[in-house]
Chains A and B, each alone.
Chain A
Amino acid sequence: DTGVSQDPRHKITKRGQNVTFRCDPISEHNRLYWYRQTLGQGPEFLTYFQNEAQLEKSRLLSDRFSAERPKGSFSTLEIQRTEQGDSAMYLCASSSGQGAYEQYFGPGTRLTVT
């Protein structure tokens, strides 16, 4: 068990560009979550998948954000037409079907929009 992995770890992009992040959950975990964390704040929920189905989306997830989890394995989070306010750490977490209270986080992708 190698834990949750995320790629890339850092991304610098110009305003208006599209970016895509990838998350690989712990292999036996069927639940996957995306959070966003800004400096000095706790993570804020973005979206949740159970297997390949996206079951919950936060109001923070504007139309420029889209997430997928094909085949219920890895997940991608895409941000279109990035804005400076999108600069944050994007965290992925996973849990088994037994408990959403045991969410294990990856190292995060730090996005900087210039």
Chain B
Amino acid sequence: QKEVEQDPGPLSVPEGAIVSLNCTYSNSAFQYFMWYRQYSRKGPELLMYTYSSGNKEDGRFTAQVDKSSKYISLFIRDSQPSDSATYLCAFLSGSARQLTFGSGTQLTVLP
């Protein structure tokens, strides 16, 4: 079993839709939960991080963590064509320094 599972997509939605991106994980030591956005042939860009169960909101983005189910989500409201990218979930245990990434979900928002 892989430590992190992320649906690779591709996911295609119309402009203005609400997008839900998800990851599951198996490592109980993970304490920090991140979402990165990566445009084609660019480096990953940190969108949000959180360390507790519940929701964290930043503009059109909401990160949700359910530690009991080992499940995290990223919601994008009012999606825009500029949101078209690959979204990577990432995890960090308290003692570690390296991030463990999901394989990424490719999102296309159609105008």
Contacts and interface: CB of A to CB of B under 8 A. Distances in A.
Interface of A: 4, 6, 31, 33, 35, 40-45, 48, 55-56, 58, 91, 100-108, 110
B32 interface: yes
B43 A105 contact: yes
Given A40-B8, A40-B103, A43-B44, A101 B98 contact: no
B13 interface: no
Contacts of A48: 97-98
Interface residues of B, number: 26
Interface in B88-111: 88, 90, 92, 96-104
Given A91-B44, A107-B43, A43 B103 contact: no
A101 B32 contact: yes
Interface in B43-70: 43-46, 49, 51
Given A91-B44, A102-B46, A110-B41, A43 B97 contact: no
Interface in B1-28: 4, 6, 8
Contacts of B36: 105
A44 B44 CA distance: 12
Q: Which of B8, B45, B88, B99 has the most CB of A within 10 A?
A: B99
21 contacts: A33-B97, A33-B98, A33-B99, A40-B104, A42-B4, A42-B6, A42-B90, A42-B102, A43-B88, A43-B101, A56-B97, A56-B98, A58-B98, A91-B43, A91-B44, A100-B92, A100-B99, A105-B44, A105-B45, A106-B43, A107-B43
